[in-house]
Structure 1
Amino acid sequence: MEEPQATREEALAHAAAGLGGPNVGLGVDIVEVGRMKAILKRTPSFAERVFSPDERAYCDASSIPATHYALRFAAKEAVVKALGCGFSDGVGVRDIEVRRADNGRPFVALSGRAREIADEQGVREIPVSLSFTHTDAVACALAITSGSVRAAEKRVDPRERLAQRFRETRGILDEL
């Protein structure tokens, strides 16, 4: 027997609470590279206030530092959107750090209030995707919860469902 789908009122309540649904949060952000370059030039302390020492070292070692700063800022914004909280409720920009795995894949590390909110929501993972052009930096983040993992485990492959029905029908025909 299938579980009933969430009612419209429940979906609206989730959206109003900033959750976007019970299982996955999505955040996307775009930062203009030129704007980041201007901010860094006008206010050099901005980088120290917003980015971790490791983030700054990575960006400053690049041939296009403003682009990498813009990417990391977009990622921080995308993560708070995915968590449904924004930079409020005690979440600071330093609570989200963009790191790189050994293979170069970006990932986020949460601390402080951002970590608490993620834990409260049952977030197990926040994969991020970063892309840029010569003018814009774009980041996308997903807050994947334990509930979404359980839902995926329960989800039946349509081909498997069809094969099962075929076996059942074949069994009935064989009995006849």
Structure 2
Amino acid sequence: MREFFTRRGDGGETGLLGDERIAKSDLRLEVLGSIDEANSALGMARSIAVREESRATLLKVQRDLYGLMSEIATTEKTANAFPKVAAEQVEWLEAMIAQLTNSTSIPREFIVPGDTPSGAALDVARTTVRRAERRCVALFQEDTQRNPEILKYLNRLSSLCFVMELSENQAASGKDSPTFAKQERS
């Protein structure tokens, strides 16, 4: 029987992609954990998305995030063994944002999340990606040798989540999301 634990982390350390071990409180692990949470939130959104295009896009993004996490988790010795986030991946996100923006009604005001399950899940994913981006900025302030495409990717990903939320809401409900400015008076 295969065991799903090694006991190597019981002392508060974990391994990177290489021989190096670091404390579980290390900022790099905080970044990795935040990206992992974002990936889980994106998976939840994908599981309930009503648009096939949304599901396919989210699956590609989730796979990209595994590559992004591996880049952050490498050591100096293993850095060249793993792919790096490339400008083309950021450009792909930008193209997806533009495509959805052209086919989706975009409000000028803040929207109120929660119109549809898939839209709400994408809003949770958006905020989780934003947190991962903030943690990543802190890491990059300590380690300026990091790939700048990682920050660009996370920034564009949160924007993609927003327009996907609007698109999913419109596809599921046939109407635009309510905005903060359009409050009903009682």
- After TM superposition, the score normalised by the length of structure 1 is 0.27
- After TM superposition, the score normalised by the length of structure 2 is 0.26
Higher fraction of strand: 1
Q: Larger Cα Rg: Structure 1 or Structure 2?
A: 1
